[in-house]
Chain A
C-alpha cells in the first residue's frame, strides 16, 4: 500500500476534507526524500499529475514546491508540499517521472528554482535570453523598449 511506503518518507500529514478540496491526502516532506517518494508512487502505479510552486518568501521565507500524484480509475490525489530555502536547489525526479521534465523547467523559468540532476534545465515558456522570473511576487515588468523609442521620437 502506498501509505505504508510513504510513512518513513514524509514529515507531516495534513488533514483534508475530500469534498471541499478535491484531493485525498496531503503531506509535507523534505526535499531530500523526493526521489524516493516519486519511486514509491511509481511502484504503486501512480503517475505525476503536476508539479508547481508557490512563492512564499514573504511569509515563510521559502519556495513551496507542490507535487501531485494521482492513480488511474478512482482518483486518489496525493498532494505533497516541499519547502525549500530561496537559495537552495531541489533534487529532480525526472529519472523516475519523465513528466517532471517540463514541469521542472517551467518552475525554473517562472521562479528561478533549480533542480539537481535535471538533464536539460532551461527556460520553457519565456524565450531563452529572457531576464527575470515572472511568477515571483516581487517581479517588476522591465520597461518596454517600444515606449522608450516613442519618447525619443523614433518609430513614430
Chain B
C-alpha cells in the first residue's frame, strides 16, 4: 500500500464515490429511497448518472449528474488558432459530426465574410443531410433496443453502415468528419459519390416504409411510447427546447427554415410536426425528418453545379474582427450555437458551444417527476441525447 499523499487522497475519494452509488433509504422517510441510474448504464447512451428519488417504482424527483465525459473543448479553443480547432467540433457530437464541422466553418466564414463557391455549398448540404439520416438511424435503433426491440436495431445499423461507407469514401472518416474547410471543402467529390447518394435515396425511401410497418404499428412500442414523457408547453420557454422535441410539441421551428444558413433557403422541404409532445410524437417527427432529408438530397444531387470546391480568396491567417459573434445550425438534436468572442488575434478569446442536448436534459427533472421508473429509459431514449455533447 502506497503512502504517497496523492494516492491516499485518491483512495479516500474512491471510497466516497463508491458509497454514493448504493441504493440508499431516504433518511427522511421509511417508504422512499434513492437509486442511481448510471453512470455505466446502456440506456444513458454515454456516461451519465441520474439520481432517482423513488417511491416504489414511481419517480419523486430525478437529478441528472453530468460531466463524466468533460473534455474541455472550450478551454482548448482558447489555446489554439481557428484552423487548429477544426477537428474539435465533430468530436463534440460524434453522431452529427459533419453538421458540427460544417457549422464551425460557416461560423468562421460569417465572421470573416468569406464567400463559399456554389458547388461546395451543395456538397455540404448533401453531406449534412446524409449525416442527419445516419444520426436518426442510430437513434431509431438504440431507442427501440432500449424498449426491448432488437430487430430494428439490426435493420437501422445496416442502413447506417451504407451511409458511413459513402461518406467514408469521400471524406476519409466514418464518424468524426473533418471534411469542411474555411471557404469550402478539403477536396472535391466524384461522380461515383453522386451515383451512390442517389442510389441510397431510392433504396432508403423503400426502407422507410419497412421501418414504419415494423415499428409504428407495433403494439408494444405504442404502449410504451404513447402518452409517456409528455413535454408540457411551458417547458419550451422555460428551458429553450429546440429540435425534434420542440417539433413534436406542435411548433414548426427549424433553424434551416427560420434563419437559413448556407443555401438551405433554395430547397423545397417541410418541417414535420406532431402535437402530443410524447415519446411517440418524437419518433414520428424523426421518421418524417428522414423523409424530408431524402427530399433535400434528391434536389441537391440534381442541381449541383460545376465549379470550384473551395474559395480562391481565403486569408492565410484567420483574424476575425473584434467582438462577439453567434452562429447556429440545426443539428439532429436541435439548435447548436457557437458563440465566439474575438479579440482581433488569431486565437479565439472565448468560445462557447451551446449544445441542444444540454438544454433538453436540464428539463428532465420537470419531465420525469411523477413517471414510472421503467419510463425513464423510454424518455431518455426518445430525446436522443448524446452525452459527450452535453459534457463538451
> Separation in Å of the A144 CB from the closest CB of chain B?
9
Question: B7, B258, B321, B324 — which one has the most chain A CB atoms within 10 A of its CB?
Answer: B324
Across the interface, name the chain B residue whose C-beta is closest to A18. Answer: B259
CB of A87 closer than 8 Å to a CB of B = no
13 residue pairs A–B, Cβ–Cβ below 8 Å: A19-B110, A20-B110, A50-B240, A52-B352, A54-B349, A66-B324, A75-B258, A98-B363, A101-B362, A124-B67, A134-B75, A135-B78, A154-B7
From 21 to 57 in chain A, residues with beta carbon under 8 angstroms from any chain B beta carbon are: 21-23, 26, 42, 45-50, 52, 54-55
Complex contacts, B253 vs chain A, CB 8 Å: 72-73
> Separation in Å of the A15 CB from the closest CB of chain B?
11
Question: In the complex the two chains form, what is the Cα distance from A19 to B326 in whole Å?
Answer: 10
Please state if B391 and A26 are interface contacts (CB–CB under 8 Å): no
CB of A149 closer than 8 Å to a CB of B = yes
> Separation in Å of the A69 CB from the closest CB of chain B?
9
Please state if B67 and A126 are interface contacts (CB–CB under 8 Å): yes
Complex contacts, B337 vs chain A, CB 8 Å: 49-50
Question: B2, B66, B111, B339 — which one has the most chain A CB atoms within 10 A of its CB?
Answer: B339
Q: How large is the interface on A (under 10, 10 to 19, 20 to 34, 35 or more residues)?
A: 35 or more
Question: A49, A77, A79, A148 — which one has the most chain B CB atoms within 10 A of its CB?
Answer: A49
Given A22-B110, A73-B258, A101-B362: A152 touches B324 (CB 8 Å cut-off): no
Q: How large is the interface on B (under 10, 10 to 19, 20 to 34, 35 or more residues)?
A: 35 or more
Given A99-B359, A101-B362: A21 touches B325 (CB 8 Å cut-off): yes
CB of A145 closer than 8 Å to a CB of B = yes
Please state if B354 and A50 are interface contacts (CB–CB under 8 Å): yes
Q: Which of B158-166, B231-239, B284-292 is found at the contact surface with chain A?
A: B231-239
Complex contacts, B237 vs chain A, CB 8 Å: 42, 45-47
Among B4, B70, B325, point to the contact of A152 (Cβ < 8 A).
Answer: B4
Please state if B326 and A124 are interface contacts (CB–CB under 8 Å): no
CB of A116 closer than 8 Å to a CB of B = no
Complex contacts, A49 vs chain B, CB 8 Å: 240, 337, 354
